[in-house]
């Protein structure tokens, strides 16, 4: 075989190889474009149907007579700024706020009560007919004093399966703790919605929601 023939065969093989790699690259690029297009279409569909959140929009989802609600601030930020909360009203305003901002295992349920409670005895927390847990106050700010309850698997199950609970605080010059009942109606639906809201912000479509 002549050198010219060998060169022609080599050139032909190289051209076929380049063409095959070009097809592979083209197909790979097409898959990426389909994924991106699918994400955009899904996001647009969610917003058209009311399931998405526009930038700079605060979204509030209420459950069971407004006992629990999920509030998500602007979707422009990458932080997990969604919260599942319940506020218990009293004669002089809100006397108890329960809040969860994270659904990861061993996250915390925050309990906020007004100033004026005695800090040293701590705060009592009861779900249904379960034994009372005494939790220390973590800090006090200009809005109230906070205690935390770890939401492990058993606690989460109790929160989802009971209809209510009680927070007990000690007030000055009061020999008996003051009991503050709270409702758990709608907590399970609210917790599930919080999980979905956080997943939307941290998942693949979260990029488009913040763009």
Quote the pLDDT of residue 115: 96
Residue 80 sits at the vertex; the CA angle it makes with 52 and 125, to the nearest 5 degrees, is 115
Q: What is the mean pLDDT of residues 169-180?
A: 93
Is residue 136 within 8 Å of 149, Cβ to Cβ?
no
Within 13 A of 3's CA, how many CA atoms are on the CB side? Answer: 0
Which tokens sit at 46?
A: 């969610």
Asked if residue 1 has pLDDT above 50, the reply is yes
- Least confident stretch, 76-80, 103-107, 161-165: 76-80
Q: What is the mean pLDDT of residues 151-166?
A: 97
Asked if residue 205 has pLDDT above 60, the reply is no
């Amino acid at each position: 075989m002549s050198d010219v023939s060998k060169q022609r065969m080599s050139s032909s093989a190289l051209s076929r190889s380049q063409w095959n790699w070009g097809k592979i690259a083209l197909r790979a690029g097409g898959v990426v474009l389909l994924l991106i297009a699918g994400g955009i279409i899904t996001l647009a569909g969610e917003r058209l149907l009311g399931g998405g959140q526009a930038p700079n929009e605060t979204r509030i989802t209420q459950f069971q007579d407004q006992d629990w609600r999920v509030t998500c601030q602007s979707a422009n930020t990458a932080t997990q700024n969604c919260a599942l909360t319940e506020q218990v009203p009293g004669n002089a305003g809100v006397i108890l706020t329960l809040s969860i901002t994270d659904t990861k295992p061993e996250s915390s349920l925050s309990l906020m009560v007004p100033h004026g409670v005695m800090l040293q005895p701590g705060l009592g927390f009861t779900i249904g007919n379960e034994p009372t847990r005494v939790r220390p106050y973590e800090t006090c700010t200009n809005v109230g004093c906070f205690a935390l309850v770890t939401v492990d698997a058993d606690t989460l199950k109790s929160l989802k399966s009971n209809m209510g609970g009680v927070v007990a605080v000690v007030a000055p010059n009061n020999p008996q703790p003051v009991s503050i009942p709270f409702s758990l109606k709608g907590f399970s639906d609210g917790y599930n919605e919080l999980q979905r809201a956080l997943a939307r912000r941290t998942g693949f479509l979260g990029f488009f929601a913040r763009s």
